[in-house]
Structure 1
Amino acid sequence: MERIRNASVTQHPPPEVRIRSRRRLRACHECDWIMALPPLRPGEEADCVRCGHDLVKRHAFPAQRSLALSLASLVALALALSFPFIGFSTRGVGNEIEVAQTATQMLEHHQPIVAMVVLMSIIVLPAIYLLTVVWLQISLMLPRRLPYSRTLARGLSHIAPWLMADVFIVGTMVALIKVAGLAEISLGPSFWAFIAYAILLLATTLSLDKDWLWFSLSGEPLAPEGTRTGETAASQGLTGCPTCGLINCLDSEGHGRCVRCSEKLHARRPRSLQTTWALLFTAAVLYIPANVYPIMYTTSLGSSDPQTIIGGVIYLVSHGSWPVALVIFVASVIVPIGKLLALVWLCLVAPRAPGMRSVVRARLYRLTELIGRWSMVDVFVVAILVALIRAGALMSIDPGPAALAFGGVVIITMLAAMSFEPRLLWDGSEDPCNPMDSPDDDGLHGDHSGLASDTAPSPHRTAPDEQGSTP
């Protein structure tokens, strides 16, 4: 009951092929629909038939692939922290910085929260994530699992949204363009190492096969007896674990704990709408000083010039840097406002009867999750310029109060998106299947030679099936 995309020729059987006596069931984390996973080959993925959410992505050689990428990323990070990052010089005065100074300089300017956000998002959390991946993949290659493997695996999904090395690279490019006309810029070895690190970190996150990882760590416990596909998990007193994917029973109050990874489970996230509303209100309040107050002060020849977010966009436009101005305007104005409005609208329509197809609202929710972190570009630009432009009264840049306020807007809106319960968008929906699909579509896309027809049933079959029946 899934769509399979991007098929390729397999070299090794996928994990689920090892279980031939029963089907592996999954409940979609976004719409709560229960489905049976077909055997997947490397390069294939299974999507929820109801909302289109990615359920499983299968990779070739998942342990070796993730281990190689994570080790390479750690090496690149070590190199990025060991050499000069960027430098500038003007009128015989210059400065050269390392990556870590983008955080330490903010600390010296009495911006400890911004400094911590920069340090955690580009160095500390990515390093923890990569070391965890190395630990887990080595553990899977050993006869006995290393200690704390399940605890560490559970933490991966919580860390991943806060990895922002790629956003930092964009912020660096914007910062360099802003000062290119004022001073001579030099790129150190660390600059190129950091680009490699950001790319490898992104590749590592994309290479992780969470379904295979948990299958290899703890096997595949049986789904609760009598679990039916083609229905929601909540209607059967069940829920899917958002961490490992396993379907679990809930108590009479709709709470429980996953039997495989020990994650806390809920039929619906407690007080989701109230928490989201509170966070959205806080973000909206912070967005006012973030745009009214200066985000940085530029000192040139003893004269200080405050610059707001919009002022920075106007400055770039006046100097002919239209592409960079557009990036800043979209990331710092359009994205935060759009995300706030989108989440407000989702909170308003979630408890009501759907006036629009649920799949459209689900896609809007995914978009808010995807774009939110890119608003950190402006915060990173300030951190880089503050650390780099240190030439005394001749030229210097200091952070303004808006840097903290805007950073708070970005983080709080990300937390708001995480606290929102997307399954509320589907509660009461009359459409059991994705209305975007044709009823004649068999749900299979790509090359499926070798897949038996009974392992990939039509995604449009809505009649409930017992767990023990033929998939």
Structure 2
Amino acid sequence: EKVYPGLLYATRTLVRLRHWIMVDVFFISTLVAYIKLSSVAKVEFGAAFYLMFVLAVMLIRTSVSIPQHWVYYKIHRMLGRDAVQTASEERICCSRCLYFRGREEATCGVCGADLYDRRPKSLSISTAFLIAAMLLYVPANVLPIMISSNPTTVQINTIFNGIVYMWNDGDKLIAVIIFSASILVPGAKIVLLLVLNISARYGLPAGARTMQRLYRFTESIGKWSMIDIFVIIILMSAFHTYVARVVPGQAAVYFCLVVLLTMLSAYFFDPRLLWDKAHSFEQSANRPSENVPANQPE
């Protein structure tokens, strides 16, 4: 087995970037833009479109099917190191590679991530990003997101107006996709993140396992809100002449920030806090009440 220079650092970089893979989102955006463009012009797919589909499938399949802790194990084994340590009170489980490390380590010796029992100020940082996303969500939906023009007319659309226009124009499939990606998903993610942050602070409305699934779902849907932005970018490149032109509106910047901020809010939220809160409630429920008087003999 040959150890290539920089193999460990390249793996660490790729593991951190895997959360930001959006090739599947861009591929769906290309299909949406194709349906929209087909109504006004003749469009044909080139070879790169089909290769992009293969790339998306292979990239996502590789990212999902290869556990990162197994990759780190193989690399450290080739380097002559033993990454496996038994779980104990003196060790901390790394939140990235899932290996147990000694508490004296500031950074994980396996993956190089910061080592901590619980992410420092997790709720404060996650809540701050969430509040910023909620504030920007208003101008993202009120201001124009796309401005299309030709020699006779200029059409200014907000997200909702654009959805209504596409629905009335007969592009109902595109309208449903854009509504789901631009309104339903960001709104749902903001609400779910709000529930998670409140639950981690004050108490869980459901079991810890259910709340953990809710967090995983919230973390996975965030990137799909970028469909609308990718569609606008594709339309901009297709209609950029004196006869027809498409340019982004102010809302496009705010909408991108909303997507980014909600993704960061989910990233900095430590789901282990949900288990801590559930455990503390179980302990308080099993603790005998101090106000109950002892039984007195007759």
* TM > 0.5: yes
Pair 1:167-2:167 in alignment: no
Q: Which of 208, 212, 236 does residue 386 from structure 1 map onto?
A: 236
Deviations 1:236-293 (A, max 9, x none): 2432123332101224xxx732233332111110111111111011111111111111
Pair 1:333-2:197 in alignment: no
What is the SS of the residue equivalent to 2:44?
strand
> How many residue pairs get matched?
276
Give, as a single letter, the amino acid of the residue that structure 1 aligns with 2:95.
P
Pair 1:404-2:266 in alignment: no
- Partners of 1:238 and 1:267 within 8 A in 2: no
Quick one: percent identity of the two aligned structures? 34
The residue aligned with 1:375 is: 225
The residue aligned with 1:305 is: 155
The residue aligned with 1:321 is: 171
| Whole-angstrom distance in 1 between the partners of 2:145 and 2:66 | 37
In structure 2, relative to structure 1, the CA distance for the partners of 1:273 and 1:430 (3 Å cut) is closer
The residue aligned with 2:269 is: 420
Pair 1:241-2:91 in alignment: no
The residue aligned with 2:70 is: 212
- Partners of 1:372 and 1:410 within 8 A in 2: yes
What is the SS of the residue equivalent to 1:390?
coil
Q: Displacement, 1:300?
A: 2.2
- Partners of 1:154 and 1:243 within 8 A in 2: no
Deviations 1:151-186 (A, max 9, x none): 221222210011111100111111122222222222
In structure 2, relative to structure 1, the CA distance for the partners of 1:299 and 1:221 (3 Å cut) is closer
- Partners of 1:249 and 1:256 within 8 A in 2: no
The residue aligned with 1:443 is: none
The residue aligned with 2:119 is: 269
Give, as a single letter, the amino acid of the residue that structure 1 aligns with 2:263.
M
1:13-412 correspondence to structure 2 within 5 Å: 141-142=1-2, 145-219=3-77, 220-223=82-85, 227-228=87-88, 236-251=89-104, 256-392=106-242, 394-412=243-261
Q: Displacement, 1:222?
A: 4.8
- Partners of 1:169 and 1:195 within 8 A in 2: yes
User: Which segments of 5 or more consecutive residues in structure 1 lack a partner in the other structure?
Assistant: 1-140, 229-235, 432-471
| Whole-angstrom distance in 2 between the partners of 1:284 and 1:306 | 24
Moved more, 152-161 or 182-191: 182-191
User: Which segments of 5 or more consecutive residues in structure 2 lack a partner in the other structure?
Assistant: 281-298
Q: Displacement, 1:396?
A: 1.6
Give, as a single letter, the amino acid of the residue that structure 2 aligns with 1:368.
T
Structure that is richer in strand per residue: 1
Moved more, 316-325 or 406-415: 316-325
Give, as a single letter, the amino acid of the residue that structure 1 aligns with 2:113.
E
Cα RMSD of the aligned pairs, angstroms, is 1.8
| Whole-angstrom distance in 1 between the partners of 2:151 and 2:162 | 20
| Whole-angstrom distance in 2 between the partners of 1:260 and 1:221 | 6
| Whole-angstrom distance in 2 between the partners of 1:320 and 1:310 | 16
Structure that is richer in helix per residue: 2
What is the SS of the residue equivalent to 1:264?
coil
| Whole-angstrom distance in 1 between the partners of 2:201 and 2:258 | 25
Q: Displacement, 1:430?
A: 4.3
What is the SS of the residue equivalent to 1:306?
strand
What is the SS of the residue equivalent to 2:98?
coil
What is the SS of the residue equivalent to 2:106?
strand
Give, as a single letter, the amino acid of the residue that structure 1 aligns with 2:63.
T
The residue aligned with 1:77 is: none
| Whole-angstrom distance in 2 between the partners of 1:353 and 1:395 | 55
- Partners of 2:15 and 2:68 within 8 A in 1: no
In structure 2, relative to structure 1, the CA distance for the partners of 1:295 and 1:249 (3 Å cut) is same
Q: Displacement, 1:209?
A: 3.3
Deviations 1:420-462 (A, max 9, x none): 010000004249xxxxxxxxxxxxxxxxxxxxxxxxxxxxxxx
Deviations 1:60-88 (A, max 9, x none): xxxxxxxxxxxxxxxxxxxxxxxxxxxxx
Give, as a single letter, the amino acid of the residue that structure 1 aligns with 2:206.
M
| Whole-angstrom distance in 1 between the partners of 2:143 and 2:277 | 45
Give, as a single letter, the amino acid of the residue that structure 1 aligns with 2:98.
G
